[in-house]
Chain A
């Protein structure tokens, strides 16, 4: 395995993700949120005017970088393929519920590990939930749950998402009036624009080359054990993030006083369980969906649209958890997510005669 080039690309991506995850927080992003796809989506949805939480509106350059970096890398290496057409509506709703699960935990799977490696013990419930969710997803796939037929290639739908993010990039620099930027709250905390964008582009390109994905790494470990490069990529990410947190003086072991965390462990478990399960069925965590959308996968693009809707609803309907805990609406939304998942699995299952 050590002689395999792909192995080193995966490990390199893990190292970069861990390093950037801490560095971006040191440079100004909210603590333990150097990289958090769900927080960034909620911020960006707010910047586009989809919700009115004045503390959560900022067009995060990292998010734009992920998609455009992936598109550039896919184009450069001849891997950009416009494709799509598999179960569009279930994927849209999966995107919505991915963000619901993340917002109840307060963070995507990347932030989950950033929180854990910064000493936040409340994240342990989330890790357990994510692993359980991925395991349930793997079992679902093995039992014949399949969202839809293989995507059709050759259509132009795959260009839409990179084009949309190119437009967001233009908005970021031109700053037209309808784009809203918070002057207070966590969205007002951000790393310098060009550094954040650069980090996003590099990470997007590396993730496209390596196919790195948090839930994918856990899934592959269930299926192949330590033989899969993905698990070493995840290990590199966790070790780098832990070392960087320590070096930056941001390691604070404990349950209390942790940034962006709450003590509703059951709901952290269920929120991340929902994210893990959904991610396996749709082929990747929120970060991976952005990367796939960048390389022409219109199905992943639709998940990204769903994630924006989810980000808006999480704030507008008060679903998102805060340090105060998980609101009732958030708990109901997570359970609704499981209803969607279970009913969808029943309907989408291919049963052998």
Chain B
């Protein structure tokens, strides 16, 4: 590999290129240099996420107010309007699920939670500020047995079968794994 002048020239240029890269990284890496882009990307992502959380707070604030005042029917009506306006936003479905569960309609609550989780997995992340993992886990734990028994007793009942399917779906999502 050092047989002639051309080989030597290539090795020399190679060494120069390596030295230039090292020099650039050392000198150009100054305060924050190399990491600047990364910090920017991380901050950008965090800002977008925070903005979303804040927007959600504003958009769904009236629903929360109605809920707190015990006016669940009006809250559901308002949610219906918001879900139609923002069909890709999961938060509406999650709130709808919570309200329906408070009102004792487990099957409909399940359907709403499933819809919300399908749209955004953050609601199952224990560390997310939007997390509803505990509520969903409770719902699955409490309803799995009764819905399972109902589906087994009425094998032709499509509503019970669909509810069981939803419970199984939430169980799978709660179990985690690579998605």
Contacts and interface: CB of A to CB of B under 8 A. Distances in A.
Interface of A: 30-33, 36, 39, 42-43, 54-56, 106-107, 174-180, 183-186, 188-189, 256-263, 320, 322-324
B178 A260 contact: yes
Contacts of B122: 184
Contacts of A42: 178
Contacts of A32: 177
Contacts of A36: 178
Given A107-B178, A178-B41, A55 B35 contact: no
Given A177-B40, A324-B169, 20 more contacts: A32-B177, A56-B178, A176-B34, A176-B37, A177-B39, A177-B41, A178-B38, A184-B122, A184-B125, A184-B127, A185-B121, A185-B179, A186-B176, A257-B171, A257-B172, A259-B172, A260-B179, A261-B177, A263-B168, A323-B175
B169 to A, nearest CB: 6
A33 B178 contact: yes
Contact of A257 (B42, B45, B121, B168): B168
13 contacts: A55-B121, A56-B179, A176-B37, A177-B37, A177-B38, A178-B38, A178-B41, A259-B172, A260-B175, A260-B177, A262-B172, A322-B179, A323-B175
Interface of B: 34-42, 45, 118, 121-122, 125, 127-128, 168-169, 171-179
Contact of B176 (A30, A43, A179, A180): A30
B172 A186 contact: no
B136 to A, nearest CB: 13
B178 A180 contact: no
A291 B118 CA distance: 36
A63 to B, nearest CB: 13
B4 to A, nearest CB: 18
A209 to B, nearest CB: 28
B41 A180 contact: yes
Given A186-B177, A260-B179, A324 B118 contact: yes
A174 B125 contact: no
A188 B45 CA distance: 15
Nearest to B118: A324
B106 to A, nearest CB: 18
A323 B39 CA distance: 33
B36 to A, nearest CB: 6
Contacts of B125: 184-185
A79 to B, nearest CB: 21
Nearest to A260: B177
Contact of B35 (A56, A176, A324): A176
Nearest to B40: A177
A256 B177 CA distance: 13
Contacts of A43: 178
Contacts of A178: 37-38, 41
B13 to A, nearest CB: 16
Nearest to B130: A184
A256 B36 contact: no
Given A174-B34, A185-B125, A257-B172, A106 B177 contact: yes
Nearest to A323: B172
Contact of B175 (A175, A183, A259): A259
B51 to A, nearest CB: 14
A323 B42 CA distance: 28
A105 to B, nearest CB: 11
B118 to A, nearest CB: 6
B34 A323 contact: no
A31 B176 contact: yes
Nearest to B39: A177
B178 A323 contact: no
Given A185-B125, A323-B169, A177 B35 contact: yes
A55 B38 contact: no
Given A261-B172, A262-B172, A323 B38 contact: no
